[in-house]
Structure formats: structure tokens, C-alpha cells
Amino acid sequence: MKNKKLIMGIGVMAIMMAVSTGCSNTNTKASTEETTTVPESTMSEEEKRLSDYKTYGMQKDAIPGIIELVKAYQYAKVNADARRMYNVFGRSDEDGLADLQTKLNDEAKVYESFDDVVTYVTKGYEDNSYVVFISSNVKFYDIDTKAPMLTWAYVKEQPKDAFYMVENEEMTADERKFVEEVSKSEDIIALDAQMRKELATAVTSDIQLGTLYSIWVQNAATNESSAAEETTVEETVEAITEDSTVESITESSKEEADVSISETKSGN
């Protein structure tokens, strides 16, 4: 059976343009073209804000259903609940469920909780879809200092008030491009920069957290270059401050399944 890779991935945005509905004979063609979109007068203030992130910015905790969806994802990750994770992605099949359960069992040994969670939302590429960025402080087992983390997900609503995250492989090229555009918005750039700064401070203040992130950075470098060189905390901080920390939501967004917290205690 084909295993589907899930994303923690989040959101879509559909920009609704306000138009004039003037109907003079001299502007018949222009009026016809302009009124192909939803008139501004039919949109609530909330809808306008969600539809135009460039003007209004990303909307903080704007949709209760998406907040609950994010909570369900984080619960499934912390409690190794594969079935609930599938529900988060709108799946009811069994394909790949056992493999996901194995991964979540390993991750649950690392992740203790997600705290101070905030969602930033805008409408997505098409109707009934959203781009969601999630900021949180992650508590790892046996590590006192929490780590700031910024992730995104592409969310759809179908039927009304029923939200699910879209799997990475199911996203279209247009949806991916739209998420990339949103990630370059002033709000997200500023948020990412602030969280990178806070994460760099955290990994230098807590040797166990610094070691854990060093292992992750080393694993990422090994996967890209097949090199197996040890990564120092200083190099980890440099990687954090130079590279965006924004990640898509996945069932295994880091190589945490290969990392034991006991390794961070000894510094190995």
C-alpha cells in the first residue's frame, strides 16, 4: 500500500477584490469585468481582513475551528495518537497508519508539550482554504528551556466548519506558490526573525537544548551532503540566525525519531 506523507503544513488565501457597480452606458464593459468578483458591500469586516493580508496583515487566532485543529495536531504529536493525526489531515483510511504510529511513538519520547500557541491566518488560494502560520514554545522532555518554533499548514474547510490540513503531496503548484508569497509578507518575516532571535538565545543558554538542536542541524547537513561532521552549538546558532526556522507541518518535521534525549544530557 502507498504511504502518504503528511504535512504539518497549513493554509490558503483567496483575495476578494472590492469593485464599483456603476452602470452607466458608457462604462458597460468595465462594469461587467469589475463585477465578476464579490462586491465589497457583501463582505463582513472579518472577511475583508482575512481576504487581504497585504492590507490588513495576518489575522491572529481569527478562526476557532482552525485553533482546535492545531490543538488536535499537537495533541496527536505529544500523545502518539496516529488515528487522531490522520483525522487532522482529513483521512479515515488505514494506509500507512502503522508506520505513522511507529514514528509518533518515537517523537512522543522527545516532545512534552506545545505552549503559548498562536495562529496567524489568511485566506488561501481558493475558496474555503487558509494559510496558517503557528508560533509556539516547545517543551522537550528533560530540558527546562522551551524552544520557539514557527510552522505553517495549508487548511481547507469542507463542509462548513469542518477543517483539515492538506497533505504536502496533495498541494497544487499554485497553492505552494501562494504559501510562499504569504511567507514573504511583512508580518511573517518579522515574526520569523523574532523567533529565530529567541531560539538562538535559548540554545546558547541551555546546553541540553543546544545539543539537541546541534544534532538536528548535523542530521540535516548529513542528509544534504552525506558528510558526518560534528556540529557545534556556535554553528547551530549561526544556522538558526541565517536560515528561516519556518517549517511545514509534517508527521516528522525533524529527525527527532533518531534522537534520544539521553544524548543531550551527555552532550554526545
State pLDDT tens for residues 179-213: 999 999 999 999 999 999 999 999 999 999 999 98
Ranges 35-39, 86-90, 151-155: which has the least confidence: 35-39
Residues 6+ away with beta carbon under 8 Å from 33: none
pLDDT over threshold 70, residue 137: yes
pLDDT band, residue 4 (cuts 50/70/90)? very low
Q: How far is CA 59 from CA 119, 188, 235, 239, in A?
A: 8, 11, 35, 29
Higher-confidence residue of 126 and 246: namely 126
Greater confidence (243 vs 87) lies with 87
pLDDT at 28 over 50: no
- Where does the pLDDT of residue 92 fall: very low under 50, low under 70, confident under 90, or very high at 90 and above? very high
Q: Is pLDDT of 239 > 70?
A: no
- Report whether 37 contacts 16 (CB < 8 A): yes
- Cell numbers at 110, concatenated: 522527545
pLDDT in the model for residue 30: 43
Instruction: Give pLDDT, residue 5.
Output: 43
pLDDT computed for residue 215 by the predictor: 87
250 against 178, higher pLDDT: 178
Contacts of 226 (CB under 8 A, 6+ apart): none
Structural contact between residues 16 and 51, judged by C-beta atoms closer than 8 angstroms: yes
Which pLDDT tens digit goes with each residue over 34-83?
444 445 557 788 889 999 899 999 999 999 999 999 999 999 999 999 99
Higher pLDDT, 215 or 260: 215
Burial of 55 (0-12, 13-18, 19+ CB in 10 A): exposed
pTM: 0.75
